[in-house]
A and B are shown apart, each in its own frame.
Chain A
Amino acid sequence: MLALMTLTFAGLANAEEVVADLSRDEVAITANFDGSDILIYGAVKREEPPVGDAPLGVIITVSGPNQPITVRKKDKRYGIWVNTEAVEVDSAPSFYSIAASGKLTEILDATEDLRHKISIPRAIRSVGAPSDVQDAPRFTDALIRIREADDLYQRRDDSVQLFDETLFSTTVDLPANLVEGPYETLIYLVRNGKVVDRHAASINVNKVGLERWIYDLAHDKPLIYGILSLVIAISAGWVASAVFRYIRF
């Protein structure tokens, strides 16, 4: 992966390179986790002063683990609303935030977007819809619309601060309903709509403590977990009954 990246950008002679870091590369999901802010900052390293008049652009994406998704659509049949068509999206990020130093569509070419899969529609991979579904793109649009409403997909133009075409920073708000896994962070430098350099980092989102224990037990020893759940339920029922008898309500 890294080798491929180096190859891709070798041709560009690396006139400008990204040096970047994150305020944290670990997010611990505890029982009272309610979201987290991550500051992403860095600088542009140059061998020589920038040439040409095209302004520098910075695009920062954070992408959660990919999942297969089914998008269903309701239609009216015999007077009632039922799910009729369904499109399976092979892989969509569970979380995707894209921040840019300007308007994304202005600083990035569509072909470059297609190649690097930067914008939200490009980050979603949908190989093919069933042939009986006519307007497959509308299903992907719906997916984006629903996830944007949940703050899981964030499109944030003009939110990367860029100083003197050298220093940049942005803050990404991770919402509370996160899925576990590695969150890939990619920083792109763009000039003339073309990507000139890319830097990758990873944020690990993990459940810890009680959350970790419950999750592992549920998956590793499901029978014990199920019995334990029942024991908790029965004893809670008994305790409540005993307490109420005691206070004679």
Chain B
Amino acid sequence: MQIYLPIAEVSVNAFLLLGLGGLVGILSGMFGVGGGFLMTPLLFFIGIPPAVAVATEANQIVASSFSGVLAHLKRKTVDLKMGTVLLIGGLAGAALGVQVFTMLREMGQVDLLVKLCYVVFLGVIGGLMFFESLRAIRRAKAPTKPIVRKHRGWIHAMPFKMKFRTSGLYISVIPPLVVGVAVGILAAIMGVGGGFIMVPAMIYLLGMPTKVVVGTSLFQIIFVTGFATLLHATTNYTVDMALAVLLLVGGVVGAQIGTRIGLKLKAEQLRILLSIMVLVVCGKLALDLLLQPGELYSVGTGTGH
């Protein structure tokens, strides 16, 4: 069934959009990532104009993250306190990131920088996670004594300690704030919610348990992407409600299913799957940069940029 999208001004298959939404929703619920870094290229591919794809994607992520968070809240796997701290850092970082983005745009080649950012970050994060999880799985198979979580001396030496009961942590608020700011900056430059950076950061830098990480990440993504939706809608008029509704119907259902799949998996299995997904996207983007494209020219409406 073809449907005409009022803002994107293209006609696409409605079932295709429902399917895409569902698929990305499942990943979102499983891994606590918004899925923007997957969905945006897919939307480009089916012919949605990039500006509309990015803005509408933000709106859809609000829905699937909210759906996912409710499922996690019921299982008490959301650290609201940690989420709020990360969010405060994240919003400050996003504001800073928008400034950086404007500066880079004036220097030109911002597209290239965004793509290189993607390849480098996805590659590094995906690679590190993959090998770490592989080691963890091997360790789990070998019947050895349980590993004691290493205490990070410098993190524990910091002031302003706070108790994060859900995560079972008693640490300074400075590391989560810094992580939030860093992710916020990157998210603003790369135009995504930042879940795929936030999740590994929470696991490896803050030492949060994987189960709690997913819900907490989704919690802060709701606010970041909700804010982004409003900004896009008021400044660029690029949020396509019809497109968003089709994607989010699939997305919210997918997120519920994804959350349940995620809870049945072991933490290291979850991490290794996420790392494989991140590496696949990274590889695809890298190939786009390295291989000669079939069509050297591209057409954009409007002038400038």
B234 / chain A contacts, CB cutoff of 8 Å: 222-223, 226
Q: In the assembled complex, which residues on chain A have CB atoms less than 8 Å from the CB atom of B60?
A: 233
Interface residues on chain A, number (Cβ under 8 Å): 62
Whether A249 contacts B256 by the Cβ 8 Å rule is yes
Q: Name the residue in B70, B237, B297, B303 with the highest tally of chain A Cβ atoms < 10 Å from its Cβ.
A: B297
From 209 to 257 in chain B, residues with beta carbon under 8 angstroms from any chain A beta carbon are 226, 229-230, 232-234, 237, 239, 241-242, 244-245, 248-249, 252-253, 255-257
- CB within 8 Å for A240 and B297 given contacts A31-B3, A233-B63: no
- Cβ contact within 8 Å between B241 and A225: yes
Q: Is B2 touching A229 in the complex (CB atoms < 8 A)? A: no
Among B99-107, B178-186, B195-203, B287-295, the stretch in contact with A: B287-295
B78 smallest CB distance to A (angstroms): 13
CA distance A73 to B297 in the complex (A): 4
Give Cα distance in the complex from A71 to B300, angstroms: 6
B303 touching A32, Cβ below 8 Å: no
Q: B74 contacts the other chain (Cβ, under 8 Å)?
A: yes
* Inter-subunit contact B239/A226 (CB<8 Å): yes
**Contact A71 B241, beta carbon cutoff 8 Å:** no
Tell me whether B298 and A179 are in contact (CB under 8 A). no
Least CB distance, B209 to chain A, in whole angstroms: 23
Contact partners of A232 in chain B: CB under 8 A: 63, 241, 244-245, 248
User: Number of residues in B with C-beta < 8 Å to the partner?
Assistant: 63
Alpha-carbon distance A82/B305, docked complex (angstroms)? 15
Main SS at interface, chain B: helix
On whether the beta carbons of A234 and B66 are closer than 8 Å, the reply is yes
Q: Chain A 180-219, CB within 8 Å of chain B: the 1/0 string?
A: 1000000000000000000000000001001110110011
Cα distance A76–B60 when bound, in Å?
35
The answer to whether B62 and A237 have CB atoms under 8 Å apart is: yes
Which of A145, A227, A241, A245 neighbours the largest number of chain B CB atoms within 10 Å of its CB? A241
Q: Evaluate contact between A230 and B297: CB separation under 8 angstroms.
A: no
- The one of A147, A211, A229 in contact with B239, judged by C-beta atoms closer than 8 angstroms, is A229
Verify B62–A234 contact, CB threshold 8 A.
yes
Interchain CB contact (< 8 A) of A230 among B10, B59, B256: B59
Number of A-B contacts (CB under 8 A): 195
Residues of B within 8 A of A178 (CB): 9
Choose from B4, B226, B290, B300 the contact partner of A81 (Cβ within 8 Å): B290
A210 contact set on B, CB distance < 8 A: 6, 242
Residues of chain A contacted by B245 (CB below 8 angstroms): 232, 236
Do B62 and A230 have beta carbons less than 8 Å apart? yes
Beta-carbon contacts of B55-91 to A below 8 Å, as 1s and 0s? Answer: 0000110111111111100100000000000000000
Contact of A147 among B2, B11, B299, B304 (CB under 8 A): B299
Question: Bound state CA distance, A72 and B3, in angstroms?
Answer: 30
User: Provided the pairs A232-B241, A241-B70 are in contact, do residues A70 and B290 lie with their beta carbons within 8 angstroms?
Assistant: no
B1 adjacent to chain A (CB < 8 Å): yes
**Cβ contact within 8 Å between A72 and B10:** no
**Chain B interfacial positions (CB closer than 8 Å to A):** 1-4, 6-7, 9-11, 47, 59-60, 62-71, 74, 109, 111-112, 226, 229-230, 232-234, 237, 239, 241-242, 244-245, 248-249, 252-253, 255-257, 260, 288-293, 295-305
Could you pull out 13 A-B pairs where Cβ atoms are within 8 angstroms? A29-B4, A69-B300, A70-B300, A71-B299, A72-B300, A74-B298, A76-B292, A81-B290, A233-B66, A236-B67, A241-B71, A241-B252, A244-B71
Given contacts A223-B234, A234-B62, list 16 more A-B pairs with CB under 8 A.
Answer: A34-B2, A74-B297, A79-B290, A83-B298, A146-B297, A211-B242, A214-B7, A214-B242, A225-B233, A226-B232, A227-B230, A229-B241, A230-B59, A230-B230, A232-B248, A237-B69
Smallest CB-CB A-B distances: 7 pairs: A226-B233, A237-B66, A176-B11, A142-B297, A240-B252, A237-B67, A233-B63
